[in-house]
């Protein structure tokens, strides 16, 4: 068991959006209390998972299936990429079964990404631990011109964005999980993966640091 402290330093503001409101405004994520804005653990796990996929393209069920399905006019219940569990759920009569038959055999055992992060049938080997209060400071950015609402372009849109550092811990059950998290941190530092909404507009660029925490509370810098 290893504990890794990760700090994400935003280079550009990031937007973790809440459900759409009636106002012409993209609000930052909140739970029950709309006055308390924070970052949900699922967002951080998704960021690390996506980065880990980029670090392990040959051993990622989602990348390999999306590569195979790209440009194909197929309707699959699981979307445009499938996890190891989704592949095993495909039936012979399903669209895409014959196209993915070799991948179904290849990923009978979970791939590295599914082993570490889990899927609908496999329990992952990491846990995200957040501080009790992971509140963020927000700035309201104005006069954006985005296609935020389906079917129309929104003008003069207001956006709640943050440049607060994000600090959390990842508990890794074994060396494979720890190494995968370190690979994900390196990918984030290359700027390949960003966080939140409006990434194509330059939002969500991060730099990451990780520290392996010793049981006594001391830390060993591992990645910057």
Note the pLDDT tens digit of each residue in 102-152.
999 999 999 999 999 999 899 999 999 988 666 788 888 877 766 555 555
Q: What percent of the chain has pLDDT over 70?
A: 81
Query: In this structure, what are the phi and psi dihedrals at residue 95, rounded to the nearest 5 degrees?
Result: -60, 135
Residue 77 placed within a domain:
no
Query: pTM score, two decimals?
Result: 0.85
- The residue that leads in pLDDT, 179 or 156, is 179
The arithmetic mean of pLDDT across residues 211-216, rounded, is 76
- Print burial letters for 21-36: b (CB count within 10 Å at least 16), e (below 16): eeeebbbbbbeeeeee
Cα–Cα dist 105/173, whole Å: 27
- pLDDT score, position 6: 96
CA end-to-end span of the chain, whole Å?
22
Residue 69 placed within a domain:
no
Q: β-strands 138-149, 219-223: how paired? A: unpaired
- Tokens linked to 83: 């996890």
- pLDDT score, position 221: 55
User: Per residue in 40-86, pLDDT tens?
Assistant: 899 999 999 999 999 999 999 999 998 888 766 666 655 567 899 98
Q: Does the pLDDT at position 22 exceed 80?
A: no
Q: Count of CB atoms within 10 A of residue 47's CB?
A: 24
DSSP string of 83-103?
Answer: -HHHHHH--TTSTTTTTTHHH
Q: How many folded domains does the chain comprise?
A: 1
- For the domain that residue 21 is a member of, what is the CATH number? 3.30.70
Q: Does the pLDDT at position 99 exceed 90?
A: no
Quickly state the pLDDT bin for 154 (edges 50, 70, 90): low
How large is the angle between the packed helices 41-55 and 175-189, nearest 10 degrees? 90
Identify the domain containing residue 184 by its residue range.
2-60+111-223
Residue 106 placed within a domain:
no
Residue 179 placed within a domain:
yes
CA distances from 199 to 41, 70, 84, 205 (A): 19, 22, 28, 8
Residue 92 placed within a domain:
no
- pLDDT score, position 106: 93
Q: Does the pLDDT at position 10 exceed 90?
A: yes
**CA angle, corner 119, sides to 215 and 10, nearest 5?**
60
Cα–Cα dist 166/157, whole Å: 26
Ranges 30-34, 144-148, 181-185, 201-205: which has the least confidence: 144-148
Residue 78 placed within a domain:
no
Contacts of 112 (CB under 8 A, 6+ apart): 52, 56, 59, 60, 176, 180
The arithmetic mean of pLDDT across residues 75-104, rounded, is 80
Q: Does the pLDDT at position 183 exceed 80?
A: yes
Q: Count of CB atoms within 10 A of residue 179's CB?
A: 16
Burial of 145 (0-12, 13-18, 19+ CB in 10 A): exposed
- pLDDT score, position 216: 44
Q: β-strands 206-213, 2-10: how paired? A: antiparallel
Most confident among 17-26, 29-38, 120-129 (mean pLDDT):
120-129
- Tokens linked to 154: 């929104």
Closest CA to 56 of 170, 181, 172, 207: 181
């Amino acid at each position: 068991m290893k504990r890794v402290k990760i700090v994400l330093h935003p280079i550009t503001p990031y937007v973790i959006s809440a459900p759409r409101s009636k106002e012409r405004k993209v609000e930052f994520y909140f739970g029950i209390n709309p006055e308390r804005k924070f970052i949900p653990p699922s967002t951080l796990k998704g960021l690390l998972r996506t980065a880990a996929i980029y670090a392990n393209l040959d051993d990622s069920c989602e990348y390999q299936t999306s590569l195979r399905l790209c440009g194909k006019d197929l309707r699959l219940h699981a979307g445009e990429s499938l996890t190891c569990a989704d592949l095993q759920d495909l039936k012979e009569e399903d669209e895409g079964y014959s196209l993915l038959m070799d991948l179904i055999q290849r990923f009978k055992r979970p791939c590295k990404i599914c082993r570490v992060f889990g899927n609908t049938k496999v329990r992952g080997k990491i846990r995200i631990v957040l501080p009790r209060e992971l509140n963020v400071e927000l700035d309201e950015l104005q006069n954006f011109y985005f296609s935020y609402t389906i079917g129309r372009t929104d003008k003069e849109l207001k956006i709640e964005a943050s440049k607060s550092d994000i600090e959390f811990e990842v508990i890794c059950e074994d060396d494979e999980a720890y190494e995968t998290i370190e690979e994900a941190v390196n990918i984030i530092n290359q700027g390949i993966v960003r966080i939140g909404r409006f990434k194509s507009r330059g939002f969500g660029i991060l730099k990451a640091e990780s520290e392996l925490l010793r049981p006594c509370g001391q830390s060993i810098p591992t990645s910057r």
